[in-house]
Structure 1
Amino acid sequence: MTAAPADLLIDRPAVDDGAALWRLAKDSEKLDLNSSYSYLLWCRDFAGTSAVARGADGEPVGFVTGYMRPDRPDTLLVWQVAVDGAHRGLGIAAKLLDALTARLAAERGVTEVETTITPGNTASERLFTSFATRHGARVEREVLFGAEHFPDGPHDPEVLYRIGPLTDLTAR
């Protein structure tokens, strides 16, 4: 893997980033695409628990969206991670995840991360298991939603990855 560009800026998304996040999710061809409206709302209402990576021109080249679990306030649920095709393989997703969790550990006391991954999504499996290794955490897996839970046609099960407790959350 090549290193992420030195001029990469990771910060909170703004409403004006919503359209770009929607396009990145759409172009990923892996993520369940939400409405463009939902990405605008996400950038407004969950900017504090999300992060965007900006290239030299200031435009988003990647993002991670998440929220704090209401019943587990020390747990960040990562909703989506996407990186522009031209910027994949540079470690941007890992930098986003590390920076977001470091920020939320300092601001909100995050000690665990959860996400769901469909079987066969090896890129996400690698991203989250390597994240756990970097932060000295264990990974527990269980099916959160089976295929039978989805009303809109065939859908792979969503496997919950629970990662924690996290140690050494200084941004890398």
Structure 2
Amino acid sequence: MNGIIFSKPCIENSKDIFNLIKRCDTLDLNSEYLYLLQCSHFKKTCGIAILENEVIGFVSGYFIPDKNDTLFIWQVAVDEKFRGQNIAIKIIIDIYNRNNINNKIKYILSTVSPSNNSSKRVFEKLADNFNTKIENKTLFSLNDFLDSHEEEIQYLIGPINN
């Protein structure tokens, strides 16, 4: 895919990101305000993929409080037309590369619902890319949610050696 630009999001991207998440059936849609915050306060740890001025991928992330060596990846979204091209992995690697000054990031952490096979594959490929291990455990069980949300399995990738 020539022409895809990977970068930090900006406020002007927040509406497109909101609409992208809305089109992804498996993801929880958050408020527009949250996506504005991600594109402003958390833009250094979020990333987008743009093709011909269209946001075709988005990854949100942040550093775990009190663990500045651990990048938490929250949401991963790729437009259906562009899936299967490792765009999500490329966005995460772009986030990693711009934030890993002096080997800052040693771990990448995320949670995945058991039915979300595409996200599982993304994190397995990411662990392979970094030539490191991946550990899984249940982070949030069904009883932790009010509604019919699936449990969330934690994926810990690392340690990442540069």
Q: Same fold (TM over 0.5)?
A: yes
Q: Which residue of 2 aligns with 1:163?
A: 157
Match of 2:57 among 56, 59, 62: 62
Equivalent pair of 2:71/2:107 in contact (CA under 8 Å): yes
Other structure's SS at 1:124 match: helix
More displaced, 100-109 or 75-84?
Answer: 100-109
In 1, Cα distance between equivalents of 2:41 and 2:109: 19
- Stretches of structure 2 that go unaligned for 5 or more consecutive residues are none
**1:51 is aligned to 2:73:** no
Match of 1:133 among 128, 131, 145: 128
User: 1:117 is aligned with what amino acid?
Assistant: V
Deviations 1:23-47 (A, max 9, x none): 1111110111101121111111100
Match of 2:21 among 15, 18, 25: 25
Structure 1 residue 58: Cα displacement: 2.2
Deviations 1:65-88 (A, max 9, x none): 100001211000001010111111
**1:12 is aligned to 2:35:** no
Structure 1 residue 97: Cα displacement: 1.3
Q: Which residue of 2 aligns with 1:147?
A: 142
Structure 1 residue 114: Cα displacement: 0.3
The residue correspondences of 1:47-126 to structure 2 (distance < 5 A) are 47-55=43-51, 57-106=52-101, 109-126=104-121
Q: Which residue of 1 aligns with 2:32?
A: 36
Equivalent pair of 2:113/2:153 in contact (CA under 8 Å): yes
Equivalent pair of 2:44/2:95 in contact (CA under 8 Å): no
- Percent identity of equivalent pairs: 35
Structure 1 residue 98: Cα displacement: 1.4
In 1, Cα distance between equivalents of 2:42 and 2:102: 14
Structure 1 residue 107: Cα displacement: 6.8
RMSD, aligned α-carbons? 1.3
In 1, Cα distance between equivalents of 2:48 and 2:102: 17
Q: TM-score, normalised by structure 2?
A: 0.95
In 2, Cα distance between equivalents of 1:108 and 1:64: 21
In 2, Cα distance between equivalents of 1:107 and 1:92: 26
In 2, Cα distance between equivalents of 1:106 and 1:60: 27
